[in-house]
Structure 1
Amino acid sequence: MIPFGWPIAGHARRKLKEVFDRDGSQAAAEVLRRIAEIYAVEADIRGVSPGQRLSARKKRNAPLVAAFGDWLQVQRRQISAKSRLDENLNYIHNHWDGMQTFLTDGRIEIDNNRAKNLIRPIALSRKNALFAGHDEGGTAWGRIASLIETCKINNFEPFA
């Protein structure tokens, strides 16, 4: 399985948006702006081959990520250790190595949004599967749902 680079950026981004909305923090706004820049590059290179994507990432996103890391270190020294902003910046800092994974392999997605969107219907319908009435029925439902979603990911028509 190919790992994802920035799933934690989504979590951090949501929390930082809350900090910005509540406090109007300019540092939170800056983090959101920097993450948006990185995602904009990813939007530009979506759909190209892994080799082209890796090359573009090294040229365009690696400098943005490096600058973001440098900025993050400075901010962490200047912000009160008891603030919600510091908590969120530390969260990003603590997961920094994992966040850079997407810069090393063009096959790696920047985040896990695609996978989350694919499993959302399964998660929403799991209450509907309670009618299975037995552990074996639930296991069978899980296998079928997994097979169907795997077919969709790989552009196969699961019902054909």
Structure 2
Amino acid sequence: MLLELRCPESLHYAASSEGGAESWAILASLVNTAKLHELDPQAYLTDVLERIVSGRTKSHQLHELLAWHWKAARQRTAQAAA
């Protein structure tokens, strides 16, 4: 089931605890940072999570997954393929 990120009021239960509020704040920050950099938040977060879970990105490389670095890497890959 996909969560509707445009309607945070429908997820108010997530903030009923301090931990839930912190988790929601982190997710909202990631989504809004992706939007700020003109990225599709779902595509960005899916790729980032897959890279972390699969081990393709090691802990010392996590900075490469920041939205602005991720976008630049995607642009370089697209230019190289063209």
TM-score of Structure 1 vs Structure 2, range by shorter chain: 0.3 to 0.5
Q: Which has the higher contact order (CA 8 A, sep 6+)?
A: 1
